[in-house]
């Protein structure tokens, strides 16, 4: 059952194929099955992916990628970003029956343009990016029901794309094709760099003799995140906001001794914090000038 005839309707029950059923693909496959769709086939190369497929989607047949496309109404391409374009071109070049088939990828950085080779062959392209981190554990499934999805598709396919997200329990958020890179940079900077910052803070606390850095950081960082999401820049606190240039200078000096590799990121983020606080009227110009002198390091 292909869907080229009427893309305006809510998607019917679909036979789903997954190419690359890793953490994301297997979780989305389970979510689609819970919504009444059926994962009928998958292509998995690595042993962990095969194990995950057997555990999460035991009824799916293990097939070659071209065969997965032929067996499905909706094909999920859940492969690394850099592999997506070559995969799509390879499917088309090897004669995969993409005509009338919904082809959806989960990459954050790409819209539906990356699927152009398949689109030219008659496929119906969708970009469905779950805004969530995946660990391969059972909580991945429940987290899908609380997260947003960045959705990009041709306008005529928008209702289908959004309906699929809603069926998985997510919230569709429309992202214009030309804004996908900016959208993804924002998410990667917020989530991935947050992990690095927290790990760095925990390491420095350990160096300072704190036995359980996580316990100390948890309440502080939880409150800071809540403030940032509710208040934006108005949620700032700390020495930069107060204009305590001497304290910041001491931080930099100590970091040079204990963790010199962290100095550039500390300085860059302190500068950005000072700029944002100054622009918002939270930091006095004279205090900002003293801070920026210190942050020339």
The residue among 111, 190, 63 whose CA lies nearest residue 198 is 190
How far is it, in rounded angstroms, from Cα 289 to Cα 180?
Answer: 36
How far is it, in rounded angstroms, from Cα 28 to Cα 272?
Answer: 37
The reported pTM is: 0.86
Average pLDDT of the residues in 184-212: 96
Instruction: Report the mean per-residue pLDDT for the chain.
Output: 93
- What tokens appear for 290 in the block? 């003293």
pLDDT digits (tens, 9 = 90+) for 98-144: 999 999 999 999 999 999 999 999 999 999 999 998 888 888 888 89
DSSP-derived pairing of the beta strands 74-77 and 61-62: unpaired
SS3 203: helix
Ordered by where they begin, the domains of the chain are 15-175 (3.40.50.720), 183-294 (1.10.1040)
Average pLDDT of the residues in 29-44: 96
How far is it, in rounded angstroms, from Cα 196 to Cα 250?
Answer: 22
Model pLDDT, residue 92: 97
């Amino acid at each position: 059952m292909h869907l080229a005839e009427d893309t305006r309707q809510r998607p019917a029950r679909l036979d789903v194929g997954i190419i690359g059923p890793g953490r994301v693909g297997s979780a989305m496959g389970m979510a689609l099955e819970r919504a009444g769709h059926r994962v009928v086939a998958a292509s998995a190369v690595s042993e962990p992916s095969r194990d995950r497929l057997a555990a999460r989607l035991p009824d799916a047949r293990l097939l070659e990628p071209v065969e997965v496309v032929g067996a499905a109404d909706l094909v999920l391409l859940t492969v690394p970003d850099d592999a997506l374009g070559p995969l799509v071109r390879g499917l088309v070049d090897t004669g995969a029956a993409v005509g009338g088939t919904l082809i959806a990828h989960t990459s954050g950085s790409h819209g539906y343009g990356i699927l152009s080779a398949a689109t030219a062959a008659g496929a119906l392209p969708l970009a469905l990016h779950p805004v969530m981190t995946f660990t391969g554990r059972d909580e991945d499934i429940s987290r899908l029901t609380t997260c947003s999805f960045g959705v990009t598709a041709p306008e005529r396919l928008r209702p289908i794309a959004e309906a699929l997200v809603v069926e998985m329990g997510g919230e569709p958020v429309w992202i214009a094709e030309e804004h996908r890179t900016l959208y993804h940079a924002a998410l990667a900077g917020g989530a991935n760099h947050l992990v690095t910052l927290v790990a760095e803070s925990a390491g420095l606390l350990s160096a300072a003799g704190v036995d359980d850095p996580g316990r100390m950081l948890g309440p502080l960082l939880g409150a800071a995140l809540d403030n940032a999401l509710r208040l934006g820049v108005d949620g700032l606190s700390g020495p930069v906001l107060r204009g305590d240039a001497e304290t910041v200078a001491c931080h930099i000096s100590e970091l040079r001794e204990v963790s010199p590799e962290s100095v550039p990121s500390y300085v860059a983020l302190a500068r950005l914090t000072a700029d944002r606080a100054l622009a918002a009227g939270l930091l006095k110009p004279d205090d900002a000038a003293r801070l920026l002198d210190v942050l020339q390091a």
